[in-house]
Structure 1
Amino acid sequence: MAFGLALALALPAHAAKPQRILSMNQCTDLLLLQLVPKARIAGVTYLARDGSAALFPGAADGVPVNYGTPEDIIKFRPDLILTGDFSLAVTRRLAHEVGAPLVEVKSTRTFDDVRQNLRQVGAAVGEPARAEALVRELDARLAGLAAQRPARPNRVVVWDGGATVPGSETFANQIIRTAGAVNIAAEPGGLYTGFDVERLLVARPDALLSAGGARPLLQNDEARHRVVRRLFAGRRIAYPEVAFNCGLPQSAKAAVDIRRQLDALPPGTAR
């Protein structure tokens, strides 16, 4: 919040809102699309349409696409650039050359980060009131979850057949905890941890959180193994992957949806 406030105070009251905003990161794409009309967006990344289709279909339709390269800065000639927190030195240099402020939005690990990023981007694009409205929506959903904690937290793991799964220091783990569940892969201090099919069968979580195996990867074959299908029949909970990877207002909705699906699990465990 401090960055957003400082940026807002640094701008004159009469300063024009940026009209050619270029987003060079999928997460900033999805924040930007919720904060300003399409007419003020010079471009979003090629990943924006897939991300928006999962959360708010049609939001990115008709918006020009970039590929996150420094050359895109020259092509689009933006008056504001939004990136993640790993932008290249050449990106910073070209932004300076075209006279466009560069706003780097940090990766998300907590819902406090979501609030901070919303306010940061809202201030940069000249829409602090819209950002605050989205923060209020986020907080309302989180308050609803906190007010009704489950009597017995379900044991879950984010698992699509891969050898690694999100651990304790990930935003995915924060969403799971907010939903009132326990991420059994959340070992102290870990971003990602090994969790192969053998470990899954020993741990026997109450449910698997799955992005649906949309990508045709060999690792997804394990998720379709007959033993896994039998043990977790009716115990696979779908989640929007982009809401786990990016800190968005919809990340709170993902937690609400997970809670609802956990509450609807059949009695017993995956035994």
Structure 2
Amino acid sequence: MASALRSLVLVVAAFAVGGPVASAAGRAVPQRMMSTNVCTDLLLLELAPKSRIASVTFLAPEAARALFPGAADGIPLNHNSAEDVVNVRPDLILDSGLSTPLVRTLARQVGARVVDVKDANNFQDIRDVLRQVGDEIGERPRAEALIARMDATLAGLAADPPKKRLRVVAWSGGSAVPGKGSLTDAIITAAGAENIAARPGASESSFGVEELLTADPDALLFGGATLGQPSLLNDEGQHRVVRELYAGRRIAYSDIAHTCGLPQSADSAVALRRALAALPPKRAIR
């Protein structure tokens, strides 16, 4: 490992040239930014011009296509490897804290600042993350504009609450479902609905078929719709009785907007509000 590290460092040293040409708030503005996680990919694509983005992960094109098509087109892709750091030679790396020690060591060797971006579990977290990344990459005004747009969307939802607070759960055949303190729970709440899995102190809950039928939610939400299509896995996970009872009352959502803290998470709440308002009457179990 030590030998491989020394070799990579020598390669980096041979290729590293130049540096940032501008400064903001006393810190050089990065000109070759790299992201190592799909969520930081999307943050970077929203906040920075393409000319300053050196690389995003291989997951970025599909994820971006679901939210802002074309944003990742033409940008080199990486697999969060040490070799990627050598090839890209970034001056800043946005990370979620999951990169290997070798990647971080090489980042230091090439002079790249590694910025750890936390997960967002609510809309305040999204504001914090946008401001953090905006400051680090010299795009705070853009971050504030995205926050203002998100807050206006949330304010619109809060100003016109639904007449009835429907009870829902993000359920795709059992196992873990998003509970209290999750981003999905924040989106459900912003939409004016109640997440029946939001139990005190639990970010995830487990619902079997029997428990689900006993809880009797008004609608079921399910992920796997990153590209607007439900996944086969989710469809196979539905019990016959559940399919009959919730025919027309299953609402697909984009996994990306519920997993990554983005301004579009507020748009997901708007979409959920509309879908809930359009639900047909509940069917009785025969």
TM over 0.5: yes
1:208 and 2:220 matched: yes
Q: What is the count of residue pairs matched by the alignment?
A: 259
1:178 and 2:190 matched: yes
Instruction: Provide the rounded CA distance (Å) in 2 between the counterparts of 1:122 and 1:90.
Output: 26
2:145 corresponding residue in structure 1: 133
Equivalent position amino acid for 1:33 in 2: L
1:98 corresponding residue in structure 2: 110
Q: Report the TM-score when normalising by structure 2.
A: 0.84
Q: CA RMSD in A?
A: 2.0
Which residue of the other structure, out of 259, 262, 269, is the alignment partner of 2:276? 262
What is the CA-CA distance between 1:8 and the residue it aligns to?
5.8
Following superposition of structure 1 onto structure 2, how do residues 73-222 of structure 1 map, counting pairs within 5 Å? 73-212=85-224, 214-217=230-233, 220-222=235-237
Instruction: Provide the rounded CA distance (Å) in 1 between the counterparts of 2:121 and 2:185.
Output: 9
Which residue of the other structure, out of 30, 47, 54, is the alignment partner of 2:66? 54
Equivalent position amino acid for 1:146 in 2: A
Identity %: 54
Q: Kindly indicate whether the alpha-carbon contact (under 8 Å) linking 2:224 and 2:255 is maintained by their aligned counterparts in 1.
A: no
What is the CA-CA distance between 1:211 and the residue it aligns to?
2.0
2:255 corresponding residue in structure 1: 241
Instruction: Provide the rounded CA distance (Å) in 1 between the counterparts of 2:24 and 2:151.
Output: 23
Q: Report the TM-score when normalising by structure 1.
A: 0.89
What is the CA-CA distance between 1:197 and the residue it aligns to?
2.1
Instruction: Provide the rounded CA distance (Å) in 1 between the counterparts of 2:199 and 2:242.
Output: 23
1:4 corresponding residue in structure 2: none
What is the CA-CA distance between 1:24 and the residue it aligns to?
0.3
Q: Kindly indicate whether the alpha-carbon contact (under 8 Å) linking 1:244 and 1:251 is maintained by their aligned counterparts in 2.
A: yes
Q: Kindly indicate whether the alpha-carbon contact (under 8 Å) linking 1:79 and 1:99 is maintained by their aligned counterparts in 2.
A: yes
Q: Kindly indicate whether the alpha-carbon contact (under 8 Å) linking 1:110 and 1:174 is maintained by their aligned counterparts in 2.
A: yes
Instruction: Provide the rounded CA distance (Å) in 2 between the counterparts of 1:190 and 1:215.
Output: 26
Q: Kindly indicate whether the alpha-carbon contact (under 8 Å) linking 2:122 and 2:181 is maintained by their aligned counterparts in 1.
A: no
Structure 1: unaligned runs, 5 residues or longer? 1-6
2:241 corresponding residue in structure 1: 227
Q: Select the structure of larger CA radius of gyration.
A: 2
Q: Kindly indicate whether the alpha-carbon contact (under 8 Å) linking 2:246 and 2:282 is maintained by their aligned counterparts in 1.
A: no
Q: Kindly indicate whether the alpha-carbon contact (under 8 Å) linking 2:170 and 2:221 is maintained by their aligned counterparts in 1.
A: yes
Partner deviation per Cα, 1:5-61 (whole Å, 9 max, x = no partner): xx96442xxx4x322110001101001111122221111111111211111122112
What is the CA-CA distance between 1:196 and the residue it aligns to?
2.0
Partner deviation per Cα, 1:48-97 (whole Å, 9 max, x = no partner): 11211111122112211111223321121101100113444333222111
Instruction: Provide the rounded CA distance (Å) in 2 between the counterparts of 1:233 and 1:87.
Output: 43
Partner deviation per Cα, 1:228-249 (whole Å, 9 max, x = no partner): 2211111111211110000000
Instruction: Provide the rounded CA distance (Å) in 1 between the counterparts of 2:284 and 2:32.
Output: 52
